[in-house]
Amino acid sequence: NLSPHMSCLILINHVKEGAKLADKHNLPQSVRQFITEHHGTSLISYFYHKALEASEEKDLNESDFRYPGPKPQTTETAICMLADTVEAASRAMQNPTPQRIRSLVDTLVEKKIKEGQLDHCDLTMKQISLIKEAFIPILTGIHHLRIEYPSDSDIERERKAARDKVAGNTRNAARKKSESAIPEKSAPETASKPAGEDVPLNNESVSGTPGAEAKDADTAAPGNGHAGVESPLKEQSGTADTDNR
């Protein structure tokens, strides 16, 4: 819940307190330089923009949001500044891939050059390019995501699931095999009839009374239209006449 101004003062104060501790413990002057120069006079842009959003004033004193300096005076303190800047920014990245890390390094180093933070050191552009190339694999290694290996319980659970699946497939195959071995029930046989028995000839009806066909033949009158068939009575009558003669 701190205001942007208060947050900025805390960050700036850690440089001043670090210099006091270096003096207190009689650290070498070269070490003290790293404490005071590794931020240079950089703008604490995050809290500066937060203050602009929260303040009704159109113009804020930008110097209130800058580190006191001085700017890096040596190659070593300049490299420390660049390393501190890109490392801190990379921690806030989402999905820090090598390509995104390279883009971040290029952007931040270029920003420091434009702000004049490297004006008082002896770094050349070639050296700056080499420094950037050295940062990229280091930051990529720091943020490399390792594979999450399964625990022993997860492995055992997967093995049990695989065994259950194999057992289930075996049972299904055995059930299908046993079902296919059972013979199918045959349909009941029906009495066969001679072909054409149920079909009347010349659309004549068939009498259902036994011996009806023979009776019709015996009582048929001569000249009933059946060519070449003579009545038995006529044949018998002719025989009797021959005997009488």
In terms of phi and psi (left: phi > 0; alpha: psi -120 to 50; beta: otherwise), the region of 31 is alpha
Phi, psi of 42 (to 5 degrees): -65, 150
- Residues near 226 by Cβ (< 8 Å), separated by ≥ 6? 220
pLDDT digits (tens, 9 = 90+) for 76-116: 999 999 999 999 999 988 888 999 999 999 999 999 999 99
Residue ranges of domains in the chain: 1-68, 71-147
pLDDT digits (tens, 9 = 90+) for 37-59: 999 999 999 999 999 888 766 67
